[in-house]
Structure 1
């Protein structure tokens, strides 16, 4: 199913891309710029802003992540993990509000989970120049059924998987145990190729297209990750660790992270 190139995913990824945790205001603004380009200008899901930053009320209590093109020396994609606000009476995550009538609380009730152990994946986006494939113009990220395939048109989806894996590692470092997401069916199915299935937690809703509420446990996806993706995971984990170290060296208040190492880190 994979060519020889994909057996060295970590090495190949590092030649072209870098995952950067957006822990400073300057880096967060880079994420807001990417989001404006995708969500406001390309897809027009949100109103265009004069300052070209797409920002909302959730950003103040979110963890942000960027992917940088080495060759272009530019940030080309982003995502974030929204955490429950600590300074509000309403500590629901966005998907809980959007899917209030469709969630299956017999599967999981987010309100009964420790607030510091949960988060929601949001604003996953890649700029237009890096997602110009047939049928992908109207989607915020580039991935299709041809990815992971065989034959002359086979291509590996480094950018979306880099953002997925980076999100998982960022959540792990901040000791987030459960990630929720409201996503297209095609992205949910491709996310599962890492080795851990997303669990559906309710009926789909219409939200810029049909979206499915899902959840994944970080420990399960890390331990169940397919061996072929582990070199890629290690490289991305090193990127995030290096990014955090740079910020900690410049900051009086260090970034708090978990010191637990994934069970497959040395494989």
Structure 2
């Protein structure tokens, strides 16, 4: 795998995509429709419904991030950060139910940290037209050695990198330190190779395939973020700051 020279990532990314905080109801409904298309219609993870929107009770206290294609203006990908219920911080997040006996609590115990500063990354989804490739495993998002190209024919996985930088910006703005997730071990390896430090914290569980409970320590990751990613991150941070500020001021 090659960590490639990608020129000006900020400018190159902007040619194709924008990452936005989905704070207004109209954009949230667009996100829910993307989730329905990927999770319900395509992959069958959840049941289809007449509204063509995939949502659950955790969306009431989740930060939604959207990926927009510049050519069409359409939202083509998304991810959310589920926050603990503000009225019951001890209430488990979804991964805590699924991994109750799988987490190695000598590494980290979600029950014993400041739960106001933790989230769960979930509902990471990208429309098939922006994800599918020959030999794709059929997951809601994909990244492989193919995305990295070679030294002679470089490529770059803009979509997963953009979504992860977006969720990290949202986490910073909401003072989140611990970002938990269930991830394929392969995806975790590829993201780590790109500079996103993801720590496995337990044994694999069966959840739409084998998934491993993992955590990102935001401050640690940001201290080691590859320099070529910093300008894009800074831009996303300021754009999201403006959106959240405008919402709170309304």
What residue in structure 2 maps to residue 29 of structure 1? Answer: 29
Equivalents in 2 of 1:196, 1:160: separation in Å? 11
In structure 2, stretches of 5+ residues that fail to align are none
What residue in structure 2 maps to residue 187 of structure 1? Answer: 187
TM-superposed deviation, 1:65: 0.5
TM-superposed deviation, 1:134: 1.6
Taking structure 2 as the reference length, the TM-score comes to: 0.93
Q: Decide which moves more: 34-43 or 235-244.
A: 235-244
What residue in structure 2 maps to residue 92 of structure 1? Answer: 92
CA contact (8 A) 2:179 2:215 kept: yes
Paired residues in the alignment total 249
CA contact (8 A) 1:205 1:211 kept: yes
Matches within 5 A, 1:193-204: 193-204=193-204
RMSD: 1.8
* 1:17 pairs with 2:47: no
TM-superposed deviation, 1:112: 0.8
Distance 1:183 1:194, change over 3 A: same
CA contact (8 A) 2:41 2:48 kept: yes
In structure 1, stretches of 5+ residues that fail to align are 252-267
Distance 1:84 1:214, change over 3 A: same
Q: Decide which moves more: 146-155 or 22-31.
A: 146-155
What residue in structure 2 maps to residue 165 of structure 1? Answer: 165
Equivalents in 2 of 1:213, 1:220: separation in Å? 18
TM-superposed deviation, 1:24: 1.6
TM-superposed deviation, 1:105: 0.9
Matches within 5 A, 1:77-156: 77-88=77-88, 91-136=91-136, 138-151=138-151, 154-156=154-156
CA contact (8 A) 1:128 1:137 kept: no
Counterpart of 1:104 in 2: which secondary structure? coil
Taking structure 1 as the reference length, the TM-score comes to: 0.87
